Chain A
Amino acid sequence: MTTEIVGGAALAPPTAIGGRRSARLRQLAPFLPAMVIIVGLFVVPLALMFVFSFWSTNENLDVVPVWTLENYQNFFTNPTYVRTLFKTMVIGAGVTVVCLVVAFVVAYFLSRYVSRRWARIALLIIIVPFWTSYLLRVYSWQAILGEHGALNQVLVGLGILREPSLLFVYNDFGTFIVLAYLYIPFAALVLYASLERFDFTQLTAAQDLGAGPVAAFRRVLLPQIRPGLITACIFVFIPILGEFLTPSMVGGAQGLLIANLLANFFKTALIPEGAAVGFLIAAFVTALLIVFRRYLRVQDVVVRG
């Protein structure tokens, strides 16, 4: 994409005014370093990962340019891998739903019942944890969900559990809770940006015209915030496809997700196999981004957050 810009400039037909081409190059020059970074450190490495996923390794685990589909075959014929991929989708979808519901309630509450000034402050309070270290927040959950963690202590103290358990950590439950925790602020931010624009008197108007509260909600409110809902879905679901820290900290052996497979392949130098998993994730992400490209208002999230 970006290559075309400079390529286009360089290939521009020579014009009668000789200076135009160099003027155009000069104009684009400040853009070059950023382009080098995006192309050289993002596009090219991802493209290489794609190529590597079709190559083989020799006995020294060096990657050799022998084309093969084996890396993909190995992935899809291994039930554990396929199950992990499927589980990642299910957990990702589940977390997305939870995040959306919670975030919608919060955003609705803030935009409808709270003055704009206080809503902004409340939103800031919700967002602040999101900006603190991701690693450390996940780590702290170990202290809450773990065997000697706060949750167990409280439940034992209340007599609900007889002794501290591993019910909440090193399994899918731990992964689910922490993922929801991580992405609720994100979803809330996106949905609030949508709902803030919504004129709630429309709901009253709909009811004056005979719609019940549910119909007013479904037919008046939902269609207007649909872009926000889709943006929020994508902003929660896509990062979960790449989550490997949370599962490795609170998911244990049982709660691993697809990105853990990827990370393990790379840490054990099985590059082409890892590249195949990486490409599968990347393909899925790309498909989602292309399908929903119109709804991606990254700037809203980045600049407001």
Chain B
Amino acid sequence: MDPLETMPVSRHGRAIRRAMQVGFAALIVFLYLPIVFMIVFSFDEGATPGLPITSFTLHWYEAMLNNRVLLRAVGNSVTVAIIVSILATVIGTMAAFVLVRGRIRFPNATRIAFTLPIMVPGVLIGVSLLIYFARVLDLSLSLATVVAGHLVVTVPFVVLIVASRLQSFDRSLEWAAADLGASPRRAIRHIVLPLIAPAIIAGALISVTLSIDEFVITWFTVGSQPTLPTFIYTRVKFGVTPEVNAVATVMLFVTLGTLGLAAVALSRARRMTGRSRRRRGAG
């Protein structure tokens, strides 16, 4: 930005600006405080997290690796996340194509239908699924019902992400392919899919993180096999153990890693499909 443009409007502009800088720094501290504490306590020897930190230990990480129940919960979470991610990506991508390119009768209503599951509080989705599975369909709750619950939120995410890329897709590339003799199917396989692949990958990775971290819907749809978040919740309710901090720290870095990959994929998608038509459109 041109420095002249940032000329303070108010006479107190400079003071306001300085105050905002301090406030911004304070906010960052506030936002990262719990995360920093979680990481620090995972290395703290004391069994109840608290200050001052007495001494450094890797004991809780060791305890984590020896806890069979916990490892099984991790296994359940990973299994669910992989299944959810694959299903959501395939289902969501197909739907996005129809949404952007098909002649749907009520495009706006359909769009709203796909944003509602993201907007509606998870607890409502959770309890209504609980009634539905346990009281209406008479299914026993299991990891399969958890997968079903996760699909309700992940599919719309994939649809929105892929649809937004498809919208900014330059269709003349496809017409060029058709001019050169490609069938529509071939044009999609060789031109469209490779170009929107980063968006699809981003959708898949975001589904993984959503599913792995999902607690609210899971809490109501889970059976006797816990996922990692429901395991942690019951554990924390019983009493705090630093072991949980160790798991949390590992999970934090796994999630951040996955999100980092998703971000890289999305920025690649942006570069490949060019700027969207609306200047700000989802940029």
Which A residues lie at the B interface, using CB under 8 A? Answer: 1-2, 4-5, 8-9, 24, 27-28, 30-31, 33-35, 37-38, 41-46, 48-49, 52, 63, 102, 105-106, 108-110, 112-113, 115-116, 122, 125-126, 128-129, 131-137, 139-144, 148-150, 153-154, 181, 184-185, 193, 196-197, 200-201, 203-204, 207, 213, 216, 238-239, 241-245, 249, 259, 262-263, 266, 271, 274-275, 278, 281-282, 285, 289, 293, 296, 298-300, 302-304
Given known pairs A133-B213, A136-B248, the reply for A5 and B110 (CB within 8 Å) is yes
Whether, in the assembled complex, B78 has its beta carbon less than 8 Å from a beta carbon of chain A, the answer is no
Which B residues lie at the A interface, using CB under 8 A? Answer: 1, 5-7, 9-11, 17, 20-21, 23-24, 27-28, 30-35, 37-38, 41, 48-52, 90-92, 94-95, 97-99, 102-106, 109-110, 112-125, 127-132, 135-136, 148-149, 151-152, 155-157, 159-161, 164, 209, 213, 215-216, 219-220, 229, 232-233, 236, 240, 244, 248, 251-252, 255-256, 259, 266, 280, 282-283
Shortest beta-carbon distance from A171 to chain B in Å: 18
Give which listed residue, B48, B90, B115, B219, contacts A296 with CB less than 8 A: B115
Given known pairs A28-B102, A34-B95, A200-B5, the reply for A126 and B20 (CB within 8 Å) is no
Q: Which residue of A lies closest to B235 (CB)?
A: A139
**A259–B161 alpha-carbon span in the complex (Å):** 30
Determine the chain B residues whose CB is within 8 A of the CB of A148 once the complex forms: 48-50
**A259–B209 alpha-carbon span in the complex (Å):** 24
Give which listed residue, A48, A105, A134, A282, contacts B215 with CB less than 8 A: A134
**B37 A144 Cβ-Cβ under 8 A:** yes
**A8 B105 Cβ-Cβ under 8 A:** yes
Given known pairs A42-B152, A238-B121, the reply for A133 and B109 (CB within 8 Å) is no
**A48–B117 alpha-carbon span in the complex (Å):** 16
**B121 A42 Cβ-Cβ under 8 A:** no
**B132 A45 Cβ-Cβ under 8 A:** yes
Determine the chain A residues whose CB is within 8 A of the CB of B1 once the complex forms: 115-116
**B98 A27 Cβ-Cβ under 8 A:** yes
Subset of 17 A-B contacts with CB under 8 Å: A5-B104, A30-B94, A33-B94, A34-B91, A37-B151, A42-B117, A42-B125, A48-B132, A126-B28, A131-B256, A135-B229, A135-B232, A139-B232, A148-B49, A242-B216, A302-B118, A304-B283
**B131 A52 Cβ-Cβ under 8 A:** yes
Extra inter-chain contacts (10) besides given A34-B95, A282-B120, CB under 8 Å: A4-B109, A34-B91, A102-B27, A106-B23, A108-B20, A132-B35, A132-B213, A136-B252, A140-B248, A298-B119
**A245–B164 alpha-carbon span in the complex (Å):** 32
Q: Which residue of A lies closest to B51 (CB)?
A: A153
Give which listed residue, B123, B236, B259, contacts A262 with CB less than 8 A: B123
Give which listed residue, A4, A110, A122, A281, contacts B124 with CB less than 8 A: A281
**A137–B245 alpha-carbon span in the complex (Å):** 11
**A44–B117 alpha-carbon span in the complex (Å):** 13
Shortest beta-carbon distance from A182 to chain B in Å: 10
Given known pairs A126-B28, A213-B10, the reply for A34 and B124 (CB within 8 Å) is no
Q: Which residue of B lies closest to A131 (CB)?
A: B259
**B123 A105 Cβ-Cβ under 8 A:** no
**A129–B37 alpha-carbon span in the complex (Å):** 13
Give which listed residue, A109, A129, A154, A300, contacts B35 with CB less than 8 A: A129
